[in-house]
Amino acid sequence: MEKIKIKVGITGQEGFVGQHLYNSLGLYPDEFECIAYDIAIFKDDEQLDTFVSNCDVIVHLAAMNRHNDPEILYQTNIGLVKKLIGALERTKSSAHVLFSSSSQEERDNLYGRSKKEGRELLASWALTANGIFTGLVIPNVFGPFGHPYYNSFIATFSHQLTHNEQPKIEVDGEVKLIYVNELVMLIINEIRSKKGNSLFVIPHTSVNKVSEILSLLEKYKAEYFEKGIIPEINSSFELNLFNTFRCYLDIKSHNPVSLVKHTDPRGAFVEIIRLNVGGQVSFSTTVPGITRGNHFHTRKIERFAVIKGKALIQLRRIGTTEVLDFYLDGENPSYVDMPVWYTHNIKNIGDEELYTNFWINEFYDPADPDTYMETV
C-alpha cells in the first residue's frame, strides 16, 4: 500500500529558511509533498484559499525582517498573519500551522511585537478551530545562502571577507545561534509529531562572541580563500561556519584553482591539498565519455583534483537552474571544491583515461552517507 504523503505549504519559501526547508523536505520524497507557493497569493484571497485548502501542514515563514520604518514592518507582518487566518477560516482548514517567531519577542521593538502578537493570533485560531498550532520561537539563524546585510551578521562578514571588504564589529556581545540545517530538522520533526506546541522555544546550539566568530572567518579567509588550505575544524559549529563561509566565494571566478606542477628529468610532482583536518583520500579512473557523480552533500567538504586527462566538472545549486562548467586538464593540474547543497558531476571529455584525486573531510559511512542523487 502506497504511503500517503504529508502535503506541506511554506509561505516565504523564497526566503533564507524557506529555501532550506523546501530543499530538505525534498530529501524525503516518499514522506512529503511541497505545495506550490508564490508570494503573490497574499494579494488574492482565492489563490490563498486554494493554497491553504491543499495543505496538511502550513509553515508560515513569510515576513518582513527589516525596514526603515518599523511601523510598516509591524503592519506587514501582522497583516500577513491575519490574511492567513482569514483563509484558514474560510476553508475550514484543519492544517497543522507552524509559525516562525523570534527570540526578539520580548524586546521592546515593533519587529518583536509583530512576531509575538502574530504567534498569539494563530494560537487563538487553533483554539477556536480545534486546529494544531506550533509557535516556533527561533534564535539567530545562520547558514549557506543567507543574504548579507539582512539575514545574519555571519552572512555579512562572510560576504565582506570574500569581496575585499573589512567587517566592522558594532557591538561585541555574545550571540545565541542555530545553524539553518539544525533548525530545519527540528521543524521537520515537529511536522512529523503532529502534536503542536503554542510556545516551542527552539534551543540555540552555540553561543559565541561576535569577535570570536570574526576571528574564525578571518582564519578561513587567510587559509582557505587565499591559500586553499582546509582549516582546522574542532566542532560541528566550526564545520557549519566554514561551510557557510565557503558559499560566499564567487564560484565562477574562484574555480578551477590551479596547482603548482614541479617537473624534473624524473617526471612531475604536484601537491594537491594541505589539511589542518582529517578525512579520506581516494582516486578514480574514468574512461572517455563517462560521467561520475550527479549528487550533492549537505555537510561534507569535498575536493576534486584532475591529475591526468581532460575533465568537465559541473555544479548546480539545488533549487536553481544555472549550471556552472569548469574545464580541467591534467597537463595543468587544478582542483574544484564542492560547496554544500550544490549537485556536481565530473565527465571525461578527453580521448584517454581520466585520473582524478578525491578528498573528503569524513570517512564514508554507508549508514549516514550524506549523499543525495540529483542530476546536474
Per-position pLDDT tens, the chain of length 376: 668 999 999 999 999 999 999 999 999 999 999 999 999 999 999 999 999 999 999 999 999 888 889 899 999 999 999 999 999 999 999 999 999 999 888 888 999 999 999 999 999 999 999 889 999 999 999 999 999 999 999 999 999 999 999 999 999 999 999 999 999 999 999 999 999 999 999 999 999 999 999 999 999 999 999 999 999 999 999 999 999 999 999 999 999 999 999 998 988 889 999 999 999 999 999 999 999 999 999 999 999 999 999 999 999 999 999 999 999 999 999 999 999 999 999 999 999 999 999 999 999 999 999 999 999 9
Residue at 178 is within a domain: no
Angle, alpha carbons 129-133-136 (nearest 5°): 155
Of 138, 160, 195, the one marking the end of a domain is 138
Sheet holding 310-317, edge to edge: 324-329, 310-317, 342-348, 291-296, 372-373
**Could you tell me the residue range of the domain that residue 98 belongs to?**
6-138
Residues 6+ apart with CB under 8 A from 365: none
Q: Where are the alpha helices (DSSP H) in the chain?
A: 16-25, 45-53, 70-90, 110-129, 153-161, 180-193, 210-220, 226-227, 236-246, 251-254
Of 122, 138, 154, the one marking the end of a domain is 138
Residues 6+ apart with CB under 8 A from 42: 11, 48, 62, 80, 83
Residue at 106 is within a domain: yes
**pLDDT of res. 267:** 86
Residue at 84 is within a domain: yes
Of 138, 156, 177, the one marking the end of a domain is 138
- Phi first, then psi, for residue 337 (nearest 5°) are -95, 140
Contact by Cβ (8 Å): 156, 116: no
pTM given for the model = 0.94
Residue at 213 is within a domain: no
Look up the CATH number of the domain holding residue 93: 3.40.50.720
**pLDDT of res. 196:** 94
Residue at 59 is within a domain: yes
Q: At what angle are helices 153-161 and 210-220 packed, to 10 degrees?
A: 30
C-alpha cell at 151: 539575514
Angle, alpha carbons 272-278-282 (nearest 5°): 50
Domain count, the chain: 2
Residue at 324 is within a domain: yes
Residue 257 shares a structural domain with residue 133: no
C-alpha cell at 146: 543567507
Residue at 237 is within a domain: no
Q: Which amino acid is at 322?
A: E
C-alpha cell at 366: 554507508
Q: How many CB atoms lie within 10 A of CB 89?
A: 13
C-alpha cell at 147: 543574504
Peptide bond into 339 cis (omega under 30): no
User: For strand 57-60 and strand 6-11, is the pairing parallel, antiparallel, or unpaired?
Assistant: parallel
Angle, alpha carbons 370-241-10 (nearest 5°): 65
For 235, which DSSP code?
A: S
Whole-angstrom Cα distance, residue 98 to residue 275?
42
DSSP line for 16-70: HHHHHHHHHHTT-TTTEEEPP--GGGGG-HHHHHHHHHT-SEEEE-------SSH
**pLDDT of res. 1:** 63
Residue at 25 is within a domain: yes
Look up the CATH number of the domain holding residue 271: 2.60.120.10
